[in-house]
Structures are given as structure tokens and as C-alpha cells.
Amino acid sequence: MIIYAKIQHSDLIEVCVQNGHNLSIQDFSIVPDLRILELKQEGDVYYLTTENCDLTSAYQLKVKGAGEKSIEPDGILDGFFSSKSLGHTVNGTLHYFRLFAPRAKWVSLVLFSSIRDHCDHQIRMHRDEDGVWETSLDNLGDWKYYGYRLDGPDDETEIFDPSVVIADPFSRAVTTLNHFLHPSKSLLYPPEKFDWEDDAWIAVPMADLIIYELHVRDMTMHASSGVHADLKGSYLGMIDKEGTGGISHLLKLGVNCVELMPIQEFGNIEVDYRNEHLDVYNDWNAYERNHWGYMTTFFFAPESYYATGSSMTPHEVNGQDGRAVAELKTMIREFHRHGIAVIMDVVYNHVSQYDQNPFKFIDKKYYFRLDQDQNFLSESGCGNDFKTERPMVRNLIVESLIYWMTEYHVDGFRFDLAPLIDSGTLSMLTKALRELNPDVILIAEPWGGGRYDLSGFSRLGWGAWNDLFRNHIKGQNPFNGLGLIFGYFWNNQNITYIYNLISGSLQKGGGPFREVGHAVNYLESHDDHSLGDFIRIGLHEVDPKQPVKDMAAHILLSEKQMRANKLAALCLFSSMGAVMIHAGQEFGRSKVIAQSGKPGTNPGFIDHNSYNKDDETNWINYKHMEANRDLVDYYAGLIRIRRKYLNLKTLKRTAPRFLQSPNPLLLAYKLDCIQDRQILFLINCHPDESVTVSLHEGPWQVLADERKAQDTPLRRLNSGTVTVQSCTGMILMRNQLL
């Protein structure tokens, strides 16, 4: 049996034959006729020297006694590389169009004058020796949109389809139809003359970052956001200061960085639910939506659904005038004006699953990781794993990141499932981005495809989501994996392990990180239960198997829930390293599945994975925020304390000194900070018992207790003792170092 047959060079084919011993050159033949000139054997692997092959042909190998198999292009594809600017570029009066498609038989540029135009104008393009197809126009006339048609080798494992017009994968702006195929056209977008005024990147040391992870639409869609009706859910809605939502809320909270869930153009809509007439039978997503955006279609174009005037009405069009470009730049400029850095959550490990993603039609075998039968691999769990190690894929990734930094002034990136990006690409992009901006923020989601590598990303000098902190402080799950804030040591760890987490999970204490700033400590992200729901379930005050019948009563935190939320926040903001919170964490947000009227949607139940829900489940309800205003104010106070006293610019040393504790569930540690001041953290994680602590060398000023947190003293304590109530904590400060 033939295990594989691969074209490694234009005149070399590598073949593996199971138990294929002592085969001769006469035992091999290739259809269509490709003459074999020489044969070499290494065990079960044979190397066939041939005449130069034609990559536009589909070859079949026959081996006597072993059957036949398609010969797949492999190493030969890595030999193609071009430094030409791809996509639509302008030089003087000339408009250039270039597409990298090394195995295409032909490529045509297709021009359109209107978005729904099917009477297109086609121009055949010419191929250079590096696999780039190109043409130029001196005058665009009335053409407003463009795309490509192409064809390639004819084989059952290919996806070349000349009947489909694909948008340019290097599109700077696209228009899309609301359908799961996501039919798209590229805009002939003129070079933007956006007035950035004096805008520049925000330079914040990694350990000083206070990141607010958010979804652009969710922040202003609810009426309670107060944002103008025409701006709700948009980039411009985020910066509408007439409302209480969006940037207005972020400024009151005091964060210095936002992490935007995916804003690169993505496949918003998934396959029709339970439609037996389609090739893919969707029995898992009754909403037919991809709300979060982790299905990228175009790496250079901003998501058009977040522009003003957009909608998800079936078969309507978004993005036809490219306004998303200027509106996103306006949003970023406004964040920068207020000292807030902007991180993009980017997805390069896979592309959108069900739509007409251009890479599928350009060359599936170049751009994707495939199994031996040429099916898409899905180590990402999302389908269509991107072959990041290909030279032109690697180049595309780096170019797109540089583009977002230069054209949109983005300050950094969080990389989804980062271990699925090959090490060569990671090193290349790190070097390129740091040469452009030495302060660029690089953060990894350090797991994916069965890989887990916190220390590896630290060696690169990156930050990484610190799930060790999350799991041990909060817990791994709310059912049988509770952590310290509930009075448990998760995974049988002890207080020494917790102290290392608080110190930044550093290698010298047995952790994974080389530097404090590499630890991005968090307790909630878009994934899994919100922290509020985790606590509701973990305290057994809410049964997730029962629907919520009274949302107003459900969202209002009980005394125990409020204490646990404040304790969690205190642990988080008292830790060394970057801090991240997710939108709504500051008010104990609950994600409850909305009444949709669709079968299979479980309305009323708490949701731990709301990627496929739209507004009602995911949006930020600012009435709920007001219901738990005490917690919001507590978060804001902790942020002010951290920014005023605990940033790297002012700390004399970053390592806390841990004190002998009278209780195994009491965290007690000191930290030296500005102006010869000393901070004392007392965090009692026991669910039932108070702890009395001796205070020496007073007086101490109380910055935070079980009720409030603020950067000016709540009250004064003299030397003596202080009692820390169960499931609460305190932050004390004094003016003289020991």
C-alpha cells in the first residue's frame, strides 16, 4: 500500500510504500505521463527523479502490487516566495492587482460597478516565476469593487472553482452579504488620508497593564448604554461620550488598555440549522451565528458589522462604502487620547469554517494543514487550520500585523491558540514588530492543539494568559474544582504555591515566567463561565440545571456572592504581573440565554459558551451594573490603588515579602512602593472564620477593606491588631519602611 506520494522539488517525488521492499524503477508509473529518470531507496521510502512536473496538473502514481495514489505537492510549494506587494496597490496613476496562486492554471481580475452586479468585466492576469498573478489598470473608471476567478488542477481533493468570485485576501475593506457563505467583494478603496493628529502608540510596561477584554458590539448595544441609537454596537458607539457605556464606563473604571475581541473581518453567520439539503448538517448551533468573531476571513480588513448602518438582516449587505476603516481609526485615536492602549485579539491558527474563504479557493494545499487524505486538519477545534509555516503564509501574517500597527496605530496583539502558529513565524513576527515598536504588546493564549507552553512564550519575551493563576485563585470549574476564594487549594497545592502565583509565577519560584510582566493574571475571559456565574454556582446559591425566572433578582449579588467577588478582585489586583478583566466582571455579570423562540436554545439557562449568541445573551446591561454598583466601585478603587502605588515605574522592587500567617488560608505580604511607603496585603480566604493579625510599626492607613477600596485612606489604624473578616481582605499602607 502507498502511504504517501509527495512532490518535493520540480523533478523529485518522495514515495512511502508499506512493506515496499526492493521495488524497481519499472514498478512505478505516473499519470499523466511523467517520465521517471532515476530511483533511490531508503527503507520504505523511495525518491523518484523525474522530468520537471507541471504544478497545474493532478498526477496519479501507480506502484506494482501496492495500488495507486494521488501525488500531492509538498516541499515544492515552500520554494515559492515573492516580495511584491500583493492585493490592490496604487503607484501614481497605475492600479496594480496581484494574487499569489502558484498552482493556478489561470487567474482573472473581475471588476464590478455595483455591489449586486453579476454582469462583471474580466481581465486575464499574467503569472510570474514566483507564482504571483498580476495586472495593472491606468483608469478604474466606474468600477467600485473587484474580486478574482481562478482555476487549478482537476482532482477530487481540490476546491478550485472558476464559477466563484473570491474577494482579495489582501483586501483593505470588503463588502459582504449576510449569508453563511459570506459572499464578499473587495472595495477599490482609495488611499486613506486619515487625520491622526498627533496620535502615537501608547507605551505601557507589560506588568503595569490593566486590560479590559471587550466585544465592540456588546459594550453599547443595550439601551441602558445611553449611546445614540444610530451608533449602538459600532466602533463610533464605543466612543460616544453622551452615554454611560463604552469609553465613558472605561474611563470611570480607570483601565489603561482594552483588548478587542476579533475585529478582522470574520464569518458572522454559520450554516442553516438542521437543513438537510446542505452539505454540512448543523445540529449544534441553533442561532446560526458566530458572534465572538474567532473565524477570520480577511486579515487586513476591519469587521464591517461594527460600522455604523450595518445589520444582520438576511441577504442584506454590510461594508459597501468602507466606512469601517475610518470609524475604527477614529475609535482607536479616541482611546489613545485618554491614555488607553489598544490590543487586537487576532486569529491566525485557523480561518473561517463555512464561508467562501478565499484561501480555500486559491490553493487549499498551499494554505492549510491537511491529513494524508487531503482533508482539513482541525487541531484548533474550529476547522481549517492555517499552515503558518508556509513562506507566503508567514509573510502574510507578519505583513498584516505591521499593517494594523502602522495604518491603525494598534499597540499590540493577543494571539488566539498561539501554539498552533509555528515557532519560525513567532520568532519572525516578534523581531519585525519590535523593530517597528519596541513597546509593542505581545500576548499569547498559550494553549491549543494539545500544546501548552507558558514558559516558551516567556522565552520569546511575550506575555501569556496565566491560567495557573486563574485555576488556583478562582478554580478550574465551579462544580468540583473550586479554588482559593472558596477556601480550597485546587489541585492539592499549598500556600507556598499561591505565593509564587502572587509574585508573578516566576521561574525562580517554580513557575513558568522569566519576568513578572510576562504573567497576564486573570480570573475571567470570554471563554467559560463569567466570574459572577462561577461564584453563584460555586457557592451553591444558583443551580445551573434550573432556568433563571427572575433576572433582576438573579443578577443582584447576595452578601456571600458580593464578598467572594470582592475577594477575587482583591487577589487579582494584589498580584504581580499584568491584570486582565473581562467586560462585566466588575459587576458580577451573568450570561443567561435569552428567549429566542428557536428550538434547541435552552432559554433562561446560564451559558458558559456564548460564542453563538447575539445581543440579549452577550450585551452589557448597564442596569445590571447599577444593581451591583458597590462591586463596580470596588473594582474602580482597586484599579486606582494599583495605578497610583503599584506600577513598575515607581516600585522600588517588585518582589513581595510574605509574612508568617496565623491561618493557612490567610495571605499576608508586604510590598515597598513610592515615597518610602509600604503596602500590606491581608487576604482571608477562609469561608467562615475571621483572622486577627498583629500590626507593628504603625500607624497604618486602610486603602481597602471588605466594603470599599480607594486610593485615599478610608481610615487609620494604630499599632495593635486588626481583624480580617472571613472571605474578605484588606490593603494597608504606611509611610515608613522597616
Helix locations, 437-494, DSSP H:
454-459, 467-473
Work out whether the CA dihedral 439, 440, 443, 449 comes out positive or negative. negative
> What is the average per-residue pLDDT within 101-114?
96
pLDDT, average across residues 278-302: 95
User: For 505-541, what is each residue's pLDDT tens digit?
Assistant: 999 999 999 999 999 999 999 999 999 999 999 999 9
Rounded Cα gap, residues 16 and 1, in angstroms: 9
Residue that wins the pLDDT comparison between 92 and 31: 31
| Pairing of β 666-672 and β 678-684 | antiparallel
Confidence of residue 736 (pLDDT cuts 50, 70, 90): low
Other CB atoms within 10 A of residue 689 CB: 14
Looking at residue 649, what is its pLDDT? 65
Phi, psi for residue 699 in degrees, rounded to 5: -80, 160
Distances (CA, A) of 1 to 35, 45, 701: 22, 12, 78
Residue 116 pLDDT = 83
> What CA–CA distance (Å, rounded) separates 547 from 543?
8
Q: How many whole angstroms separate alpha carbon 17 and alpha carbon 23?
A: 10
Give per-residue pLDDT as tens, 201-236. 999 999 999 999 999 999 999 999 999 999 999 999
Q: Looking at the predicted structure, is the pLDDT value of residue 675 above 90? A: no
Distance between CA atoms of residues 460 and 454, nearest Å: 10
Task: Give the burial string for 161-190 (b: 16+ CB within 10 Å, else e).
Answer: eeebbbbbbbbbbbbbbbebebbbbbbbbe
d(CA 726, CA 724): 7
Provide mean pLDDT across the span 586-603: 89
Cα angle value 246/248/709 (rounded, 5°):
110
The answer to whether residue 619 scores a pLDDT higher than 50 is yes
For residues 195 and 330, give the distance between their C-alpha atoms in angstroms, rounded to a whole number. 9
3.40.50.300, 2.40.110.10, 2.60.40.1180, 2.40.50.140: CATH of 653-734:
2.60.40.1180
Q: Are 267 and 182 in contact (CB under 8 A)?
A: yes
What is the tens place of the pLDDT at every residue in 314-357? 999 999 999 999 999 999 999 999 999 999 999 999 999 888 99
* Whether residue 144 has pLDDT greater than 60: yes
Q: How many CA atoms lie within 13 A of 314 on its CB side?
A: 6
Q: What is the mean pLDDT of residues 635-649?
A: 90
If you average pLDDT over residues 357-362, what whole number do you get? 96
Residue reference for cell 499584568: 578
How does pLDDT run across 568-579, given as a tens digit for each residue?
999 999 999 999
Q: What is the model's pLDDT at position 696?
A: 82
Pairing of strands 121-124, 67-73: unpaired
Confidence of residue 187 (pLDDT cuts 50, 70, 90): very high
How many angstroms separate the CA atoms of 129 and 444, rounded? Answer: 37
Q: How much is the average pLDDT of 650-674? A: 82
What per-residue confidence (pLDDT) applies to 665? 94
pLDDT reported for residue 652? 52
Please report which confidence band the pLDDT of residue 595 belongs to, taking 50, 70 and 90 as the band edges. confident
* Separation of alpha carbons 416 and 231, rounded Å: 28
With beta carbons less than 8 A apart as the criterion, state whether 374 and 169 touch: no
- Name the least confident of 8-12, 434-438, 531-535, 717-721: 717-721
- The pLDDT of 136-155, averaged and rounded, is 94
The residue ranges of every structural domain in the chain are 2-76, 79-187, 206-644, 653-734
Query: Mean pLDDT throughout 579-592?
Result: 98
CA 67 to chain centre: 45
Q: What is the DSSP string of 148-160?
A: EEEE----TT---
Confidence of residue 650 (pLDDT cuts 50, 70, 90): low
Q: Residue 664 — very low, low, confident or very high, per pLDDT cuts 50/70/90?
A: confident
Nearest 5°: the CA angle 159, 162, 163 is: 105
Instruction: Indicate the range of 125-139, 293-307, 592-606 predicted with least confidence.
Output: 592-606
> What is residue 738's predicted lDDT score, i.e. its pLDDT?
47
What letter does residue 84 receive in the DSSP assignment? S
Backbone angles phi, psi at 589, to 5 degrees: -45, 140
C-alpha cell at 126: 499574467
Strand positions, DSSP E, 80-209:
87-91, 94-100, 106-112, 121-124, 126-127, 132-137, 145-151, 174-177, 184-187
Please state, rounded to an integer, the average pLDDT across all residues of the chain.
94
> In this structure, are residues 495 and 504 in contact, taking their beta carbons and an 8 Å threshold?
no
- Residue 546 CA to residue 516 CA, distance in Å, equals 42
CATH superfamily membership of 2-76? Rab geranylgeranyltransferase alpha-subunit, insert domain (2.60.40.1130)
CATH topology of domain 79-187: Immunoglobulin-like (2.60.40)
Report the distance separating Cα 632 and Cα 65, nearest Å: 73
Tell me whether the CATH fold assigned to 79-187 matches the one assigned to 653-734: yes
**Packed helices 629-645 and 559-573: angle between N→C axes, nearest 10 degrees:** 20
Q: What is the mean pLDDT of residues 362-377?
A: 96
When the candidates are 3.40.50.1100, 3.20.20.80, 3.40.50.1820, 3.10.180.10, the CATH number that belongs to 206-644 is 3.20.20.80
Query: Of 253-267, 521-535, 673-687, which gets the smallest average pLDDT?
Result: 673-687
Percent of the residues in the chain that have a pLDDT greater than 70, as a whole number: 99
